[in-house]
Structure 1
Amino acid sequence: MSFQNPVFIPGPTNIPESLRKACDMPTIDHRSPLFGTILHPARKAVQAILKSTSAEVFIFPSTGTGGWETAITNTLSEGDTVLVARNGMFSHRWIDMCERHGLELIIVDVAWGQGIPADRFEEILTGDTAHRIKAVLATHNETATGVVSDIGAIRHAMDAAGHPAMLMVDGVSSIASMDFRFDAWGVDVAVTGSQKGFMLPPGLAIVGFSEKAMDATKTAGLHRTFFDVHDMMKGYANSAYPYTPAVGLMNGLNEACRMLMDEGLETVFARHHRIAEGVRRAVWAWGLELCAESPDVYSDTISAVRTPNGFNATDIVTHAASTYGVAFGVGLGDVAGKVFRIGHLGSLTEVMTLSGIATAEMCMVDLGLDIKLGSGVAAAQEYYRYGSEIEQKVAAQ
């Protein structure tokens, strides 16, 4: 691998120089008032990124998986029932965690490549007249398949069913890169991490709790120590942690949020869409297909690219790393060997993306696929140069 080349994995993402410098700071006493000048602005800034005015933000030294555990252990009790769709590796892993914690699950199995079926959720919730279901778990952006699900539609389904369950959302590969509306969508727990849209190294689990979720913590019976939000709240009240915080990463989080807000959230989302659409145009020019089955579920942060039957897609990833020093993502779970993943989130530009597209083309040609060198690059270039005009013409037809 080469440190000079950008990475095209779905995370950790490329780290801007200013964020590396923000994380690289002298040791401070994390029990001194100085730490509060890092802690409180970070929590407030994340709240703004979530598009919330009321979410309680918790920042743990962990990863997105720790965020999942924070969500369920602070709000649920052993034997509680949760409703969840399994449509990719990361929704599957959340399910596995729930099972290990002794929760009962109603699992809606969905083909990998499809989004969460809000209509099916509505049917199940409507039938749950005893309100046995305590939480609905939704993976906003399934990192394994490049599929985004409509969280607003899921909230609508819950409201239409008149169901009081909490809505918990895995936004690990969407928050800070794609539109996420904590308040407007009625999200009760949102989970993300530092290493995706926030463009930082791994090490922070970032979780937002609604007032309803905070109320649930008062009666939750699952065991927790490290991830106890009440311990964390007591620490926050004194500008401290119940244990040692990741001070440098939190300082970087402040800078990351400042960068995002300076660019403008809507501009950040538009940039991700524009870059992603260029990647999609390249895939189609190669004559290949996405794992995501329809435009309404195309992710703007990850594209999982299907390769022809009988071809091991993982070979593209290993060849790119060994020959060109460029990192792509391998297929996971049900799509292992069937797709390779191009991550296009975080600190990325159209010019950087073109280098990734060109590398993927070289790898596929090297490995004998019927791909014309330059075809995907040209398609992406055409879109990056004239994309808005193209979309306007299509909309007018």
Structure 2
Amino acid sequence: MDNPPAPAIFRHMAFDSDILIVGGGLNGPTLALALAQAGHSVTMIDAVPLGSRKSPGFDGRCYAMALTSTRLLEAVGIWETLEPDAQPMLDIKVTDGRAGEGPSPFFMHFDHAEIEEGPMGYMVEDRHLRPALLSASDAHENIQTLHGETVVSQSAEAGSVSVTLASGRVLTGRLLVGCDGRGSGTAMRAGIKRTGWDYGQTALVCAVEHALPHHGVAHQFFMPPGPLAILPLTGNRSSIVWSETAENAALINEMPDEAYIDVLKPRFGSFLGDITRVGTRYTYPLSLSLANTLVAPRVVLVGDAAHGVHPIAGQGLNAGVRDIAALAEVVTDAKRRGEDIGAEGVLSRYQEWRRFDNTTLALATDTFNRLFSNDNPVLRAVRDIGMGIVGNMPALRRSFIREAAGLTGDLPKLLKGQRL
């Protein structure tokens, strides 16, 4: 017996947009551009007023973008604008030790020359990335952005999903995407629960100017309280992501700049000469937060709304970009086949594509943090020997380099630089 036709109300329903996106940070507009270029109409709901999103001055916020993430930015048309101000990451050096004592003799050195694709990634400053995304999304005819609006309720029906805004306006679409961070209201309203724990660590984030050139080398120095990442920026500047116990971080953050830098210096070392802080100082608590499912009826989660991981490998934003590439490809292929893009079967393809990768990343960063953020002599010997082994095995080194560049696994088209 043939399936009955869809009720007329669904066959002729007028939607505000094909896809509603909640969240206007970085993942929201990136996803909107990827979807809009593939022919979907998109409404993005951003709780932050437009004026607050525009920050032309340098404030120290920067992102380590894997090579594949920059390919997606190129595919959606903004990398050409960003590349002149982006700093290539040519090498990564990983060491272990204590503040003021210098690194262990065992280390890992990953050189981009060991792969054919080029730099492992680029450091991109927020003051360049965010305006480029906002300008491109505001200019695209398939994207409508509502700034300063918040969602207060949502409802999934047989053929549609709707959201009610604080202003009273109601929007309808075929699919609702949560790009609204770890405390995702979209996930909570959909009944999606989370698994995770607090690390008892806080990241101190800033940028420094130094006397000597960094030569495009990123450093990860593991210390008992937590790792210190020194990430190269254009010129003689570096971005600092410095993890400490929550108690120590609170004390350090209250210090004036001069004292703050005095505490950082023995951790940073003298290999880049004298350092001074530039931009603004930030802190954020570190925790693991995984959504128990990436999908619900007519709802899907992307980026931190789906998975919040330790910044130990700098992969948080890159994992979100992978989500974006996979979701855009899944719903675009479904639309071209004449499928309902919000149907359970379509969303399950996205979940199957991304769930294992996201869980693996969370477990890997959690394990690395627990293994390295301590002063246990047995564990310290194990990790130092392990770093020495990896550092002396070319095949294993290359696999780590390809992982850092985002080149492993089943890559969506956008991460290969191909448009949908």
Q: TM-score, normalised by structure 1?
A: 0.26
User: Which structure is larger by alpha-carbon Rg, 1 or 2?
Assistant: 2
